[in-house]
Structure 1
Amino acid sequence: MSALRSRSTRRRGILLVVTAVVGGLVLSACTPQAQPSPSAPDWELTAQTADPSGEIDSFTWANYGEPYSLDYAYAFDYADNMVLSNVCESLLRLNPDYTLTPGLAESFEQTSPTTWTYRIRDGVSFHDGSPLTAADVVASMSRHLDPEVGSSWFSVYQNVTAIEQTGDREVTVTTAIPDSQFNQGMGGSAGVVESAATLAEKGADYGNSTGLVNCTGPFELAEWQSGESITLTRFDDYWDESLRAKSGEVRFVFMNDANARINALKSGDVDGSWMLPTDGIAQLQASGVGDVYFGLSTATSNLIVSDTDGPLSDPRVRRALMMALDREGILEAAAKGYGAVSNALTTESVWGEASEQTRVDAFSGLEEYPRDLEAAKQLVEDAGATGEKIVFATAPISNDFTVVSQATVAAAQSIGLDAEIKTVTPNAYTALFSDPSAREGVDLFYTVWYLSSPDPLEMYGVLRTGEFSNYGEWSDADFDRIADEAVGTADADARAKLTGELQHIANEQLPWLPLYSSPMPVFVGERITGVEPSIAFLYYPWAATIGAR
């Protein structure tokens, strides 16, 4: 179960992902219309595994890939943030239930419609022993505005006009317009704080296997052996006693091959792993050497329409393709039935600051697009698109990529379109999210898109006209107007009401085609326990709570 997301090397428009959480658990945040597959396996969400019996010397964790970078400005994918979340910390803390609480900022306040003020926590040390200062915060945040850096998180800062130290332990951020999304992003990589001295010293080597990083988290980055592993060691001077690491060491091993990863978990050579290949879950459950848990997720599996000048420029053709897709079959084949078909691009888990009625309204009345090949063929014919060609780009990354690409092309062909699969390398696939030239000649590609903040507006902001991650350059004037109003709306429920309108427009216009949502699976071996299963592992120091079983 792998997903690739945009990793830009230049300034981006509003980025994607994340939002609040429903105070609890929602079955992989499925919509009221979304129904589990009839053959779905039995599973339930787990918020917390058993407490550890004590500390442990070390444990080993499998990462499906080697991080692209541990520079927080570029940490924009699962493999990167899985490691970085235990080493570097942000101004706010995004918790496993997807709530935001104080982090390196002991308090924060919107002091005017266009200013956010952060009180920086005292008594915090970087891993080299130097104290955290307001100047470090200013230096760390300012990198996102530097075009020479080309931060993947620029979209969070796109409205920022000034980042200033306004007191001994105070930093104030000023935005050009009221921006509800800025503070929401401070619980992720966009809010990470690094030592200003380290940034200056390491320069271009910062965050790579040579320069490493120097942050404030419960673990410090001890070693990065390129192509093999990353080792973290406990930081004994960590400021938050409630999250003091229970393991002296964590070793991440890079295992691209899904079968090898499953075998290593079954043999006990590796103690745990996030993002389990779904076709290996039953093997692990039957192995008797550990437990599989399912945690809260904010991710949805979608088809991105990347060429709105081609046949898919007509919304009738997009709707026809949705009506031709066997999404229940895709869920079963790609995810072994773990999850539910979704008609929205967000999960309910990111609507936690909305009232119950607002959340219900956001998911009620969405078009379900039941499978109807004859009606779909007629829509394609009405659009004058019969016989026109679409290209689906994919890569040999995991089983879901294969299933989705084959099923989509078959669906397109069944309604009169000429469709073909274009297979590229995983690196070339990553480029689809960051390089417009890589998308030339490509009509569709697949993503598992997660949110990094507790606000569904993060998802729909991506689809505004001109945004970097609006890969197909879709444009709708009403959508843009409502989205702009939502960005400037401070009240969470009022903002969620507007976002609900955006969700309905996207469901009707289908700039992206939603497929399904699934929980976040994690395997915990027989030596360890204490993990909180949640996609928040991307930003929360999850490894610190793991100890001896």
Structure 2
Amino acid sequence: MNRKTLVLPAVIGLLAPVLAACGGSDSGDKGGDAIAVGTTDRFIASKAVPAPFDPAYAYDAGSWNVLRQTVQTLMAMPRSGSGDPVPEAAESCIFTDSGSERYVCKLRKDLQFADGDPVTAADVKYSIDRVRAIKSSSMSYGLLSTIDTIETQGDREVVFHLNTPDATFPYKLATPTAGIVNPDDYAKNKLRDGFEVDGSGPYTMKAEVDGKTVVKTVFTKNPHYKGQLKPKNDKVELVSFAGADAMGEALEKGDVDMMTRTMSPEQIKKYSTTPPENINLVEMPGMEIRYLGFTTTADSVRTKAVRQAMAQLVDRGELASSVYGTTAEPLYSLVPAGITGHQNSFFNKYGDPDRAKAAATLSGADITTPVKLTLHYTSDHYGSATKKEFEVLQKQLNASGLFDVDIKGDIWDTYRAAQLKGKYDVYGMGWFPDFPDADNFLAPFLDKDNFLASPYANGRIRGDLIPAERREADRLTAAKSLQQIQNTVADDVPVLPLWQGKQYVAARDDITGVEWALSSSSVLQLWELSRGVSG
């Protein structure tokens, strides 16, 4: 299985038998030593980010991937990352009415936290009510906004009463925001600062810290775990690197066994064409998107015509190909291609890049050109190519003569805090879905209590279209409302979609289960990995 790139289709299970035959079996970790996995995700505790691993605060792909190993949820996404959620801490969950407003879950029998304490329905209620009460600055509590009240019936039954129909609610219970925590470890009205995590998931976790930065996260198999997962190893170490180059060097030296996000485009090209001996690159479906966000009350972009002119000028094709090569594709909606309800609304409205049309848009709104803007980006959160991406955007906009653009990068912990406070007029962000449904590419940016803390508020989207699509258990039926939302976004441009990306994992060839290491929803599934036989 040396020296090859494996391309995994959406129906990933078709390849599993072949891959298993190449590197070992599902019989567990034969080597006995921990499997080391590299990542460029950086976890820093600071005044701006006090509780990176608290389910009431965490709301980025990196911290969620730590929580998914340790903190159990009532529901979980299937192994592939697509399809309907399946029971996890729950034995069963079901809507008990025809209007998707009453959802009942029954816990598994004899469920325990890792310390041996029983997990009860009261703990579930406490955990979710805690997130809703704390209302952290990360805005993660918005995922639970359709809950009205929670009641318990005995030790094992939890009843969710929703304030509006929400067919996507089972997906939300599969997110770490709905993670179950022990009241003994997590105060009711206060975040748990630092890096300690306790739960009932497949692993316990211990963070190795240098100053206020995590350098390694050690996951050890939880003997009390009861759920639908079947961990294939006893210990995994998630090692944080300052950049993709250092992570790649560690893989090639054998200091780590696998590396995940975020590999650089150069590494992906190298491992696709001339990989080092005993290292394989796995390509898999992904739903990652990148976009520009706007503080629509800021003077520089308050007028819709400015945002529309930018949408008219940005050349997504050049941006994706020149920076990311074959690893990214142009995106013309917040909803990526492949998701039910996707529509190319931005292309339908603006077509190919056109300076004359952009100039006419600005002139029609009496906007003096060139429009001065600063595009902000995070220098350390989405990979080393982000700076180059913003240099390309700067060049495209400035070449039109209609804009005078500067760019500025900041590290993630200060960047995210500043963005939430509205300090950036225009800023770049990425999105890894909470769950694989079009609602999760729209509501988090457009609804009340949204992920961006955006001042943009469209009454029809919030009052009519989002509630309408959430009423439909059949997501094909919901597509009409979803597409109307996308068309409105293309017209108002509170966000500007740029590209959607594929996912890649590189691993040494004695590691098995690599094809399942990342689901299509970007869930890091460390429990799938084991050490097999190099071949």
TM-score, shorter chain, exceeding 0.5: yes
Q: Which of 441, 446, 451 matches 1:464?
A: 446
* Partner of residue 34, structure 1: none
Report the CA distance shift for 1:327/1:364 in structure 2 as closer, same or farther (over 3 A).
closer
Q: How far apart are the structure 2 equivalents of 1:270 and 1:388?
A: 48
* Partner of residue 13, structure 1: none
The CA deviation string for residues 443-477 of structure 1, in whole angstroms up to 9 with x for no partner, is 21111112112321122223436543355522334
The CA deviation string for residues 60-114 of structure 1, in whole angstroms up to 9 with x for no partner, is 0112133352222222112212222112221111122322111111211222343
* Contact 1:297/1:349 (<8 A) preserved: no
Q: Which of 364, 370, 378 matches 1:382?
A: 364
* Contact 1:65/1:255 (<8 A) preserved: yes
* Partner of residue 36, structure 2: 60
Q: Which amino acid aligns with 1:328?
A: G
* Partner of residue 7, structure 2: 44
* Contact 1:305/1:471 (<8 A) preserved: no
Stretches of structure 2 lacking an aligned partner (at least 5 in a row): 45-51
* Partner of residue 190, structure 1: 177
* Partner of residue 340, structure 1: 329
The CA deviation string for residues 155-179 of structure 1, in whole angstroms up to 9 with x for no partner, is 1222323111123310011222223
* Partner of residue 82, structure 2: 98
* Contact 1:81/1:538 (<8 A) preserved: no
Report the CA distance shift for 1:148/1:406 in structure 2 as closer, same or farther (over 3 A).
closer
Q: In structure 1, the residue corresponding to 2:259 is in which secondary structure?
A: strand
TM, length-normalised to structure 1: 0.82
Q: Which amino acid aligns with 1:301?
A: R
Describe how 1:129-528 pairs up with structure 2 within 5 A: 129-147=116-134, 152-199=139-186, 206=192, 208-209=194-195, 212-226=196-210, 227=213, 228-240=215-227, 243-275=229-261, 276-285=263-272, 286-351=275-340, 359=341, 366-367=348-349, 369-385=351-367, 386-397=369-380, 398-415=383-400, 416-436=402-422, 439=423, 442-464=424-446, 466-480=448-462, 481-528=464-511
Report the CA distance shift for 1:263/1:537 in structure 2 as closer, same or farther (over 3 A).
farther
Residue 363 of structure 1: how far off its partner (Å): 7.2
Q: In structure 1, the residue corresponding to 2:57 is in which secondary structure?
A: coil
Q: In structure 2, the residue corresponding to 1:366 is in which secondary structure?
A: helix
Report the CA distance shift for 1:236/1:167 in structure 2 as closer, same or farther (over 3 A).
closer
Q: Which amino acid aligns with 2:363?
A: E
Q: How far apart are the structure 1 equivalents of 2:465 and 2:521?
A: 32
Q: How far apart are the structure 1 equivalents of 2:388 and 2:167?
A: 38
Q: How far apart are the structure 1 equivalents of 2:217 and 2:302?
A: 45
Residue 420 of structure 1: how far off its partner (Å): 1.7
* Contact 1:362/1:497 (<8 A) preserved: no
* Contact 2:82/2:521 (<8 A) preserved: no
Considering only aligned residues, what root-mean-square deviation do their CA atoms show, in Å? 2.9
Q: How far apart are the structure 1 equivalents of 2:484 and 2:387?
A: 33
Report the CA distance shift for 1:305/1:97 in structure 2 as closer, same or farther (over 3 A).
same
* Identical residues among aligned pairs (%): 19
**Mean Cα deviation higher: 490-499 or 514-523:** 490-499
* Contact 1:118/1:172 (<8 A) preserved: yes
Residue 365 of structure 1: how far off its partner (Å): 7.7
Q: How far apart are the structure 2 equivalents of 1:135 and 1:539?
A: 27
Q: How far apart are the structure 1 equivalents of 2:345 and 2:373?
A: 30
* Contact 2:218/2:236 (<8 A) preserved: yes
Residue 140 of structure 1: how far off its partner (Å): 1.3
Q: In structure 2, the residue corresponding to 1:266 is in which secondary structure?
A: helix
* Partner of residue 49, structure 2: none
* Contact 2:444/2:451 (<8 A) preserved: yes
TM, length-normalised to structure 2: 0.84
Q: How far apart are the structure 1 equivalents of 2:260 and 2:143?
A: 27
Q: 2:92 aligned with 1:110, yes or no?
A: no
Q: How far apart are the structure 2 equivalents of 1:205 and 1:319?
A: 40
Residue 250 of structure 1: how far off its partner (Å): 0.7
**Mean Cα deviation higher: 531-540 or 59-68:** 531-540
The CA deviation string for residues 506-543 of structure 1, in whole angstroms up to 9 with x for no partner, is 23332211111111111122231103153457556x11
* Contact 2:419/2:427 (<8 A) preserved: no
Q: How far apart are the structure 2 equivalents of 1:253 and 1:81?
A: 16
Q: In structure 1, the residue corresponding to 2:72 is in which secondary structure?
A: coil
Residue 223 of structure 1: how far off its partner (Å): 4.5
* Contact 1:61/1:270 (<8 A) preserved: yes
Q: Which amino acid aligns with 2:410?
A: V
Q: How far apart are the structure 1 equivalents of 2:113 and 2:329?
A: 43
* Contact 2:278/2:508 (<8 A) preserved: yes
* Contact 1:302/1:513 (<8 A) preserved: yes
Report the CA distance shift for 1:86/1:298 in structure 2 as closer, same or farther (over 3 A).
same
Q: How far apart are the structure 2 equivalents of 1:78 and 1:465?
A: 21
* Contact 1:104/1:121 (<8 A) preserved: yes
Q: Which amino acid aligns with 1:319?
A: Q
Q: How far apart are the structure 2 equivalents of 1:521 and 1:324?
A: 30
Q: In structure 2, the residue corresponding to 1:85 is in which secondary structure?
A: helix
Q: In structure 2, the residue corresponding to 1:180 is in which secondary structure?
A: coil
Residue 361 of structure 1: how far off its partner (Å): 6.4
Report the CA distance shift for 1:188/1:505 in structure 2 as closer, same or farther (over 3 A).
same
* Contact 2:294/2:494 (<8 A) preserved: yes
Q: How far apart are the structure 2 equivalents of 1:109 and 1:123?
A: 21
Q: Which amino acid aligns with 1:523?
A: A
* Contact 2:466/2:481 (<8 A) preserved: yes
* Contact 1:156/1:181 (<8 A) preserved: no
Q: Which amino acid aligns with 1:60?
A: A
Q: How far apart are the structure 1 equivalents of 2:137 and 2:269?
A: 42
Q: Which amino acid aligns with 1:485?
A: A
Report the CA distance shift for 1:522/1:182 in structure 2 as closer, same or farther (over 3 A).
same
Report the CA distance shift for 1:373/1:361 in structure 2 as closer, same or farther (over 3 A).
closer
Residue 483 of structure 1: how far off its partner (Å): 2.2
Residue 43 of structure 1: how far off its partner (Å): 7.7
Report the CA distance shift for 1:78/1:97 in structure 2 as closer, same or farther (over 3 A).
closer
The CA deviation string for residues 334-366 of structure 1, in whole angstroms up to 9 with x for no partner, is 222312111111124443xxxxxxx47677983
* Contact 2:123/2:182 (<8 A) preserved: yes
Stretches of structure 1 lacking an aligned partner (at least 5 in a row): 1-41, 352-358
